[in-house]
């Protein structure tokens, strides 16, 4: 559902507005009955909605869309439901001057001239509009302003999650067109009433907020809406408790220390100006937290620039905002931020997995040669053979693990600290442990063949295949840092894994049995019985790594050390 006017409050009546978003179809009802000829107060409210408005609304492929502020865009169909025509109203009373909306004064006014004379049309925050009114419009007369009633009605609408606007006018205001300023707004306006606009949160946004909370990401709402409205809408999204919110005036009264303390506990900030948003970003950063800030208006640019990650809206965002941001959200959908976080975590995890896969295998290759040199025995693997193993495994297997899908709990983990290295202390342990195990497996295969009376080329062929088979099995281990790989589920979800293994198997068979490669790498064909022993050794190697993972995840202290963020 899109933004639409759902409630109207005048001096003498409360109305319900039906419809669907920006579409002009719907009714204005009083006590459940459709209003026929609208009373003068509603007509004047419709006129303010049409003329005191800078948005544009149009139909594209059968769907109504808005350029500009969605709140303003939603006022057009409200007037249409009263039977009013925008083109006719604009022609009858064209704008000759105006005061644009600014967050500092929280209202917009237009100065129009029609056949009946000049008039000032105003809309804005209810408390600001009420401060500039001394009378209220009824169906056939003017009355002294009943401020208390409108404040109560405004709070009621806000508590329902509706964004509330006050509408007022003043015929023959006595102003001079040409250079109107906010301070020129008279304080004897005539209040027409309040309109309540509803923009229910999208389900995917609610789900995304829940997912962010599960992943240790705190979501804070900073808005220009009334405190009660902000708290109610935030509650629908799963932010805050539905009652607690801090207004901009309260932020102004806080020093930096108090604000730092406030942002630790409060998730909803209302009636916030650009200065307030900037101070809030700085306060959160002062608490050593990483801030991603979203925004679409020019006034959001300073806060977006200051944030660690500024996110501008791609559809509604201004060019200034997009320039200030570090990222542009193409679809203006908060769920896309959650999806990006999930994707980013998976990319980071896959980089970590790739490093913890490649480094132990490279350590093993170097260590095999180093041990042979240190203890003065025949090299189990020659330099060209090391290059072959590197070429085959790094490309086919290393790339395969880079395409690992999202892990089931990726959005249930807390964020990592900014100073956490990719290879942690536990990562160094894993590299040394797996490297040592792979060295033992390779040397055992080499000396086993030598004990059988095999030639050096044949024993080396077995050693090369042993270290390669070990890397294939370790690739299966590496899909999960600590979770078990002893299940069918653990080996599904990434087809590239099996493509990579298939490529390595084919290349190793060529390496072992193709005569041209024998001449290049000084190898010999293996007897079939040797493959059974090599596979058995690979399975044992796989199980050794799984036992290490089981021990670590079974110990709370070791698990905490391994998964420390």
Q: What is the pLDDT of residues 89-112, one digit of tens each?
A: 999 999 999 999 988 899 999 999
pTM: 0.76
In a domain, 141, yes or no: yes
What pLDDT, in 10s, does the model give residues 21-58? Answer: 899 999 999 999 999 899 999 999 999 999 999 999 99
- Cα 507 to Cα 383, 465, 487, 512: the distances in Å are 18, 11, 27, 9
Token reading at 245: 């919110």
Domain encompassing residue 222:
203-334
Output helix, strand, coil percentages for the chain, rounded to the nearest 5. Answer: 50, 15, 30
Same domain, 454 and 559: yes
Does the pLDDT at position 185 exceed 80?
Answer: yes
DSSP symbols for 98-142 = EE---TTT-EEEEEEEETTEEEEEEEE-HHHHHHTEEEEE-SSSE
Beta-strand runs (E) in 325-465: 327-329
| Order of strands, sheet of 221-222, starting from the edge strand that comes earlier in the sequence | 221-222, 268-270, 246-247
Q: How far apart are CA 565 and CA 562, in angstroms?
A: 9
Helix axes 383-392, 456-477, angle to 10 degrees: 30
Hey, what's the torsion of the CAs at 164, 149, 12, 136, to 10 degrees?
-80
Q: What is the pLDDT of residue 61?
A: 84
Q: Are 133 and 220 part of one and the same domain?
A: no
Distance in angstroms (rounded) separating the CA atoms of residues 39 and 138 = 9
Radius of gyration of the chain from its Cα atoms, rounded to whole angstroms: 35
Considering the domain architecture, whether residues 521 and 471 belong to the same structural domain is answered as yes
The reply to whether 366 and 511 lie within a common domain is yes
The residue among 57, 68, 61 whose CA lies nearest residue 21 is 57
Q: 151, 174, 198: which is the final residue of a domain? A: 198
Same domain assignment for residues 481 and 348: yes
Q: What is the pLDDT of residues 476-502, one digit of tens each?
A: 999 998 999 998 878 888 899 999 999
For the record, the structure tokens of 421 come out as: 């290295």
Average pLDDT of every residue of the chain: 92
pLDDT at 275: 93
From 178, 198, 218, give the residue that closes a domain: 198
Determine how many CB atoms are found less than 10 A away from the CB of residue 436: 14
Q: Is residue 292 part of a domain?
A: yes
In the DSSP assignment, the letter for residue 231 is H
pLDDT > 70 fraction of the chain, expressed in percent and rounded: 100
Residue 145: is its pLDDT beyond 70?
A: yes
Q: Are residues 376 and 494 in the same domain?
A: yes
- Containing 175, the helix (H) or strand (E) segment is none
Same domain, 379 and 300: no
The Cα 281–Cα 314 span in angstroms is 21
CB half-sphere exposure, 149, CA atoms < 13 A:
14
- Interior/surface letters 282-294, b for 16+ CB within 10 angstroms, e for the rest: bbbbeeeeebbbb
- What's the CATH code of the domain at 155? 3.40.1110.10
**For the chain, how many structural domains are there in total?**
3
Coil, strand, or helix at residue 541? helix
> Same domain, yes or no, for 418 and 497?
yes
Q: Is the pLDDT confidence value at 1 over 70?
A: no
Does residue 464 share a domain with residue 414?
yes
Reading the block at residue 244, the tokens are: 């607690």
User: Which helix (H) or strand (E) segment is 95 a member of?
Assistant: strand 95-99
Pick 188 or 318 by higher pLDDT: 188
Quote the tokens at residue 429.
């342990």
Residue 175 pLDDT > 80: yes
Of 334, 364, 392, the residue that ends a domain is 334
> For residue range 214-250, what is the model confidence (pLDDT) as tens digits?
999 999 999 888 899 899 999 999 999 988 999 999 9
- Domain match, 229 and 145 both: no
- Here the CATH number for the domain that contains residue 215 is 3.40.50.1000
- Residue 492: the pLDDT is 84
Co-location of 346 and 418 in the same domain: yes
CATH of the domain at 424: 1.20.1110.10
**Strand, coil or helix: 96:** strand
Q: What are phi and psi of 39, to 5 degrees?
A: -65, 165
Structural domain contains residue 104: no
């Amino acid at each position: 559902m899109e933004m639409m006017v759902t409630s109207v409050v005048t001096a003498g009546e409360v109305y319900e507005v039906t419809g669907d978003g920006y579409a002009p179809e719907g009714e204005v009802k009083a006590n459940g009955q459709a209003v026929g000829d609208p009373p003068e107060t509603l007509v004047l409210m419709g006129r303010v909605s049409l003329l005191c408005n800078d948005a544009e609304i149009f139909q594209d492929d059968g769907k109504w869309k808005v350029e500009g502020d969605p709140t303003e865009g939603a006022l057009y169909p409200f007037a249409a439901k009263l039977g009013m025509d925008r083109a006719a109203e604009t022609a009858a009373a064209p704008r000759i001057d105006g005061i644009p909306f600014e967050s500092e004064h929280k209202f917009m006014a237009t100065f129009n001239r029609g056949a009946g004379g000049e008039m000032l049309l105003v809309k804005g925050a209810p408390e600001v509009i009420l401060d500039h009114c001394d009378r209220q419009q009824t169906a056939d007369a003017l009355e002294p302003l009943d401020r208390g009633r409108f404040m109560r009605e405004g709070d009621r609408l806000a508590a329902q999650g509706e964004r509330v606007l006050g509408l007022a006018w003043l015929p023959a205001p006595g102003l001079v067109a040409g250079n109107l300023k906010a301070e020129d707004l008279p304080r004897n306006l005539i209040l027409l009433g309040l309109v309540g606009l509803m923009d229910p949160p999208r389900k995917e946004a609610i789900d995304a907020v829940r997912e962010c909370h599960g992943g240790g990401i705190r979501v804070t709402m900073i808005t220009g809406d009334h405190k009660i409205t902000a708290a109610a809408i935030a509650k629908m999204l799963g932010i805050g408790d539905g009652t607690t919110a801090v207004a901009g005036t309260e932020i102004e009264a806080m020093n930096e220390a108090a604000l730092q303390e406030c942002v630790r506990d409060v998730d909803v900030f209302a009636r916030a100006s650009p200065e307030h948003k900037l101070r809030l970003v700085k306060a959160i950063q002062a608490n050593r937290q990483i801030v991603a800030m979203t925004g679409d208006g020019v006034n959001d640019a300073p806060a977006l620039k200051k944030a660690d990650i500024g996110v501008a809206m791609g559809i509604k965002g201004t060019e200034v905002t997009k320039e200030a941001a570090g990222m542009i959200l193409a679809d203006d959908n908060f769920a896309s931020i959650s999806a990006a976080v999930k994707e980013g975590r998976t990319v980071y995890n896959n980089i970590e997995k790739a490093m913890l896969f490649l480094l132990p295998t490279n350590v093993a290759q170097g260590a095999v040669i180093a041990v042979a040199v240190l203890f003065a025995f025949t090299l189990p693997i020659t330099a060209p053979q090391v290059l072959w193993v590197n070429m085959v495994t790094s490309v086919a297997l290393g790339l395969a693990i880079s395409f690992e899908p999202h892990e089931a709990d990726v959005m249930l983990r807390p964020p990592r600290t900014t100073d956490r290295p990719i290879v942690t202390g536990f990562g160094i342990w894993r590299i040394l442990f797996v490297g040592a195990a792979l060295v033992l497996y390779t040397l055992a295969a080499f000396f086993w063949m030598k004990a059988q009376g095999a030639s050096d080329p044949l024993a080396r062929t077995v050693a090369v295949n042993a270290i390669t088979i070990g890397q294939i099995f370790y690739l299966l281990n590496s899909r999960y840092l600590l979770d078990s790989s002893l299940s069918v589920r653990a080996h599904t979800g990434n087809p590239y894994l099996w493509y990579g293994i298939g490529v390595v198997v084919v290349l190793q068979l060529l390496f072992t049995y193709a005569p041209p490669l024998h001449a290049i790498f000084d190898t010999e064909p293996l007897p079939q019985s040797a493959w059974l022993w090599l596979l058995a050794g690979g399975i044992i190697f796989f199980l050794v790594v799984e036992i290490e993972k089981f021990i670590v995840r079974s110990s709370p202290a070791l698990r905490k050390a391994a998964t420390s963020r």
